[in-house]
Amino acid sequence: MEIIDINIGYYFGAFLAALWIMLPAYVPNPIAVLVGGGYPIDLGRNFFDGQRILGDGKTYRGFIIGVGSGILIGILQIFIQTTYGLNSLPNHTLRSVVLLALGALTGDLIKSFFKRRIGIEQGERWQIADQYDLVIGAFLFTAIFNYNWLITNVSLVIGIMILIITPILHRLTNALGYLLGMKRVPW
């Protein structure tokens, strides 16, 4: 009888690598939810179609503190890596960390722009886009401004792992935020 050899260690390693890479991109959104409020980025203005450009859900405070926290987490990761020499994990750099955090919340902003254009109200859910906006933003930014880092650190398996774990983590954090009363809706 053949034994199907599924290498658990290999996939677990890819899972850890995916988490490690995406941490600076995962942190900004929940932090924005926690601290958000104040001036909306579109300053309350409407687009040509009479709808808000972005809506009240995208604020300066959420954006700046969100991106800042993603960068801080990344700096902590770089510190841990250089101190303990975690060579089996992908290596972050200041540049990768900034691009991942900034790209994640910029992806979120652009998604809201499109949500308003197709008539989805602020806070309403838009399946798939709500879950992958940060991945698209983070990867677009690193692909444009740090291509070498991207291709040396994100292998195909890690990339697929990111696509699998992102919606799961998104669901879990949103459900948690809702249960703790920090989010108005569980998505």
Residues in touch with ligand CTP (CB under 6 A): 32-33, 36-37, 55, 57-59, 62-63, 105, 108, 112, 115, 122-124
C-beta of 33 vs 157, nearer to ligand CTP: 33
- Three-state DSSP class for residue 45: coil
Which of 58, 30, 21, 64 lies closest to 43, judged by CA? 58
Q: Rounded to the nearest whole angstrom, what is the least distance from the CB of residue 50 to ligand CTP in the complex?
A: 17
Name every residue whose Cβ is closer than 8 Å to that of residue 36 and which is 6 or more positions away in sequence. 57, 59, 61, 62
C-beta of 92 vs 115, nearer to ligand CTP: 115
Identify whether the C-beta of residue 40 lies closer than 8 Å to the C-beta of residue 180. Answer: no
C-beta of 99 vs 105, nearer to ligand CTP: 105
User: Among all chains, which residue has been given the structure tokens 């972005």?
Assistant: 54
Q: Rounded to the nearest whole angstrom, what is the least distance from the CB of residue 94 to ligand CTP in the complex?
A: 22
Q: Rounded to the nearest whole angstrom, what is the least distance from the CB of residue 105 to ligand CTP in the complex?
A: 6
